[in-house]
C-alpha cells in the first residue's frame, strides 16, 4: 500500500517564478492538506482540500493556491516566488470519517528559491 507520495523531491527556482508541487494521497484517503516547514521550525498549515474544494485555509497569502482532482490527488501552486518561500513543503492525507483520525505525511518537496 503506497503511502503519501510527493513530487518532485527537490526543486530550485528563481525569485519571481511560479512553482507547482504535486501530491498523491494514501489509498482510501480523500482529504489532502499542505504544510510549509521552514528550517528549524514546525510545519505551518497552508490549506486543506476535500471534495475538490478548499475547505480550510491557514494564514498564507493568495500567492499560494491549490487544486484537488477527482482522484483526490492535489497540487500546490506558488506564484511570484520570494526567497522566504524556501522551505520543505509537506502534503498530508487523511480519510474523511465521523471521528477524527490522524494525518499521514509524505516525505516532502524541498523548495529552494534563489
- Residue 82 CB, nearest distance to other proteins (Å)? 22
Nearer to other proteins, 7 or 18 (CB): 7
Neighbouring C-beta atoms of residue 108, cutoff 10 Å: 21
SS (HEC) of 15-77? CCCCEEEEEECCCCCCEEEEEEECCCCCCEEEEEEECCEEEEECCCCCCEEEEECCCCCEEEE
Binding site for other proteins (CB under 8 A): 31, 33, 35, 40-45, 48, 50, 55-56, 58, 88, 90, 92, 94, 100-108, 110
Amino acid at each position: 500500500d503506497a503511502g503519501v507520495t510527493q513530487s518532485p523531491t527537490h526543486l530550485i527556482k528563481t525569485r519571481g517564478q511560479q512553482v507547482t508541487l504535486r501530491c498523491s494521497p494514501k489509498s482510501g484517503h480523500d482529504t489532502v492538506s499542505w504544510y510549509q516547514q521552514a528550517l528549524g521550525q514546525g510545519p505551518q498549515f497552508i490549506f486543506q482540500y476535500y471534495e475538490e474544494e478548499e475547505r480550510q485555509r491557514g494564514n498564507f497569502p493568495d500567492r499560494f493556491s491549490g487544486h484537488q482532482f477527482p482522484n483526490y490527488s492535489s497540487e500546490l501552486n506558488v506564484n511570484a516566488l520570494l526567497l522566504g518561500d524556501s522551505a520543505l513543503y509537506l502534503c498530508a492525507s487523511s480519510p474523511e470519517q465521523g471521528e477524527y483520525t490522524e494525518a499521514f505525511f509524505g516525505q516532502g518537496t524541498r523548495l529552494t528559491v534563489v
